[in-house]
């Protein structure tokens, strides 16, 4: 699988990353079996995916990663997050250290490759104290590189002026395109990890309006799974499936491939719960240089945006 160097580091990121949120067994409906979760991670590894995106708040995803990867966890890129304390952003230096050290114990490693601030601060810790603390943890060798998630363009530029932050993790998909409005420019020269490329499964064509998610599935409270957005997203997914049929690939691969082919994107983080989903998603790499396909997909997306 193709890979890109994370700017300013020696870390190589495969163009696809396995997102481990749903593998943690919380917030995504009935948890899948342990066997399937482990098989999903191993399938990703077998297909050449070398980046695994996790977080202390993704249920027991870290444990599953350790179980599935074994010693291979020292050879892959473990990207994790810090700074969420009981549901709230906490970027206080003492909490960041405690949060990271707990992660190191769970992942059974001495350092993680990429440590990302999970959410922008809601509690007024000055950016300077937060990023000084993160750089300190990097200098101590507990992390190889520091990144951020979910910041807007103005704040990202402020952070870049005070710290060596090498990556931005941000949502980006055919139905969620705020990255194009200022963030792409603000993140120039950084690695960009694009998340939620399937709009939580919607763009894979897995769901149609009327589908009821159980209360323990976050999609039961997601506006994108309510009409009229659900109807529009499902219609887009059907069109992506038609495009996919012409090139012999599933809709999910088309949706993920589109994100991977956009300027400024280093890797696309797609979540999966089953090996078959990973296999479908990894087919996206076949489309990376398919300018013609992206022209068609661009036109289709514009129609659905207006519709
Ligand atoms: N930094 C942040 O704040 C943040 C926020 C969100 C996500 N993330 C990261 O980004 C990753 C990806 O985002 P996401 O998991 O929220 O959304 P996503 O990748 O758009 O959707 C993943 C879900 O879609 C379904 N799916 C996956 N492949 C499929 C296929 N081939 N066919 C049919 N359905 C398929 C699966 O759920 P079902 O089988 O249940 O439908 C899977 O859990 C996360 O795991 C996490 O690592 C980070």
Condensed to tens digits (0 to 9), the pLDDT of residues 69-88 reads 999 999 999 999 999 999 99
Look at the chain and report how many structural domains it folds into. 1
CB 22 less than 6 A from any atom of ligand 1:
yes
Backbone angles phi and psi of 65, in degrees to 5: -60, -45
Region 192-199: mean pLDDT is 98
Q: Which residue from 259, 256, 209 is spatially nearest to 233, judged by alpha carbons?
A: 209
DSSP string, 169-228: EEE-BTTB-GGGTTHHHHTTTSEEEEE-TTTTTGGGT---TT----TTBGGGG-GGGSTT
The pLDDT of residue 230 is above 60? yes
- φ, ψ of residue 17 to 5 degrees: the values are -120, 145
Q: How confident is the model at residue 197 (pLDDT cuts 50, 70, 90)?
A: very high
Which atom of ligand 1 is the closest one to the Cα of 276?
31
At residue 307, does pLDDT exceed 60?
A: no
Please report, for the domain that includes residue 126, its CATH number.
3.20.20.100
* Residue 218, ligand 1, Cβ within 6 A: no
What single-letter DSSP state applies at residue 305?
Answer: H
Q: What is the pLDDT of residues 24-40, one digit of tens each?
A: 999 999 989 999 999 99
Contacts for 216 with CB less than 8 Å, ≥ 6 apart: 27, 29, 30
**pLDDT at res. 129:** 95
Ligand 1 centroid from CA 241, angstroms: 18
Q: What is the mean pLDDT of residues 112-118?
A: 98
The answer to whether 149 and 130 are in contact (CB under 8 A) is no
> Token match 């409270």: residue?
221
Q: In which band, very low, low, confident or very high, does the pLDDT at 121 lie, cut at 50, 70 and 90?
A: confident
Q: What is the pLDDT of residue 306?
A: 62
Q: What range does the domain containing 168 cover?
A: 3-306
pLDDT digit string (tens) for 233-267? 999 999 999 999 999 999 999 999 999 999 999 99
| C-alpha torsion angle, residues 28, 34, 35, 38 (rounded to 10) | 80
Q: Is the confidence at residue 56, as pLDDT, over 70?
A: yes
Which residue has the least CA distance to atom 29 on ligand 1?
277
CA distance 278 to 287: 16
Reply yes or no on whether 172 is catalytic: no
The string over 247-274, giving b where at least 16 C-beta atoms fall within 10 Å of a residue's C-beta and e elsewhere, is eebbbbbbbbbbbbbbebbbbbbbbbbb
Residues 6+ apart with CB under 8 A from 259: 172, 173, 174, 194, 197, 265, 268
Binding site membership of 199 for ligand 1 (Cβ less than 6 Å):
yes
Pairwise CA distance, residues 19 & 197, whole Å: 10
- Asked whether the whole model's pTM tops 0.85, one would answer yes
């Amino acid at each position: 699988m193709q890979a890109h160097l994370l700017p300013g580091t020696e870390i190589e990121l495969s163009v696809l990353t396995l997102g481990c949120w749903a593998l943690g067994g919380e917030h995504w409906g009935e948890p899948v079996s342990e066997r399937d979760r482990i098989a999903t991670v191993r399938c990703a590894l077998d297909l050449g995916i070398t980046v695994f995106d996790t977080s202390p708040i993704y249920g027991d995803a870290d444990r599953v990663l350790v179980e599935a990867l074994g010693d291979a966890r020292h050879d892959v890129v473990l990207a994790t997050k810090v700074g969420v304390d009981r549901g709230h952003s906490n970027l206080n230096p003492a909490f960041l250290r405690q949060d990271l050290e707990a992660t190191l114990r769970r992942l059974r490693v001495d350092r993680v490759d990429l440590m990302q601030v999970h959410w922008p601060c809601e509690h007024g810790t000055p950016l300077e104290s937060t990023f000084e603390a993160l750089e300190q943890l990097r200098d101590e060798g507990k992390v190889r590189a520091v990144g951020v998630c979910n910041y807007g363009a103005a704040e990202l530029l402020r952070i870049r002026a005070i710290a060596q932050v090498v990556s931005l993790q941000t949502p980006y998909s055919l139905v969620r395109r705020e990255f194009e409005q200022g963030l792409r420019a603000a993140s120039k020269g950084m690695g960009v990890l694009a998340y939620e490329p399937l709009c939580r499964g919607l763009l894979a064509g897995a769901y149609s309006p009327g589908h009821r998610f159980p209360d323990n599935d976050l999609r039961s409270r997601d506006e994108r799974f309510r009409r009229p957005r659900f109807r529009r997203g499902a219609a887009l997914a059907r069109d992506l499936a038609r495009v996919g049929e012409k090139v012999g690939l599933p809709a999910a691969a088309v949706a993920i491939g589109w994100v991977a082919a956009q300027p400024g994107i280093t890797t696309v983080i797609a979540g999966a719960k089953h090996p078959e989903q990973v296999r479908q998603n990894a087919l996206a790499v076949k489309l990376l240089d398919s300018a013609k396909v992206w022209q068609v997909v661009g036109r289709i997306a514009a129609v659905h945006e207006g519709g």
